[in-house]
Amino acid sequence: MNPPVERQIKELYESYHHEIFSFIFIMIGERQQAKDLMQDTFVKAFIHLQDFRGDASAKTWLYRIARNVAIDFLRRKKPISYYLDYYSPIRSKQPTPEEILQLNENKQQLYQALSQLRKGYRDVIILRKIQELSIKETAAILAWKESKVKTMLHRGLEALRGELEKEGFVHESK
């Protein structure tokens, strides 16, 4: 193996493996499979490192590979329940047992509602709101214009709100 390439892949892995794992896990909902697909992502990155032109950041390049790997997996494994066990709402320092139960119920409602959305809405919500990527990074990963990211995020959040309301979840404002 070429030592500089090996070093580059190792640095990319150390920098981004947690983010890539959580992104894939949210997309597919299976922890062990997400670990395997994360490894596949870095194998593909290693194989195609010489093709990386640097038009986008290494981070967005990896996310794009991870997204494609996850989509390929999902195509092979239809239908699937999406988005299990990652989104964590803002928490107090020491939640009570009742608060923990309520958070888990809310999390399940959120994932159920997310699973009902169009794929484009799900992708943009995961990348922007759960993974906290910038508009520019999200646009690069999804191969969209930044204006489309903003529009799809707005529409996706509206659709998510509608799904949550259909399920009986009411957001308490103030």
Instruction: Quote the percentage of the chain above a pLDDT of 90.
Output: 43
Kindly report the three-state secondary structure assignment for every residue of 125-144.
HHHHHHCCCCHHHHHHHHCC
Q: Do domains 3-76 and 97-166 have the same CATH topology?
A: no
Domain ranges of the chain: 3-76, 97-166
pLDDT in tens, 61-107: 999 999 999 988 887 775 434 333 333 344 434 556 665 556 566 66
Whether pTM exceeds 0.85: no
Among 98, 11, 26, 2, which residue's Cα sits nearest to residue 58? 11
Sign of CA dihedral 79, 85, 90, 92: positive
Instruction: Please say whether the structural domain 97-166 has been given the CATH code 1.10.10.10.
Output: yes
pLDDT in tens, 106-136: 667 777 788 889 999 999 998 998 888 999 9
Among 53, 25, 56, which residue's Cα sits nearest to residue 41? 25
Question: What gap in Å lies between CA 9 and CA 69, rounded to an integer?
Answer: 17
Query: What is the third-level CATH fold of 3-76?
Result: Rna Polymerase Sigma Factor; Chain: A (1.10.1740)
Question: What gap in Å lies between CA 140 and CA 153, rounded to an integer?
Answer: 15
Q: Are 117 and 160 in contact (CB under 8 A)?
A: yes
Integer CA distances (angstroms), 3 to 6, 16, 39, 46, 53, in order: 5, 20, 20, 12, 20
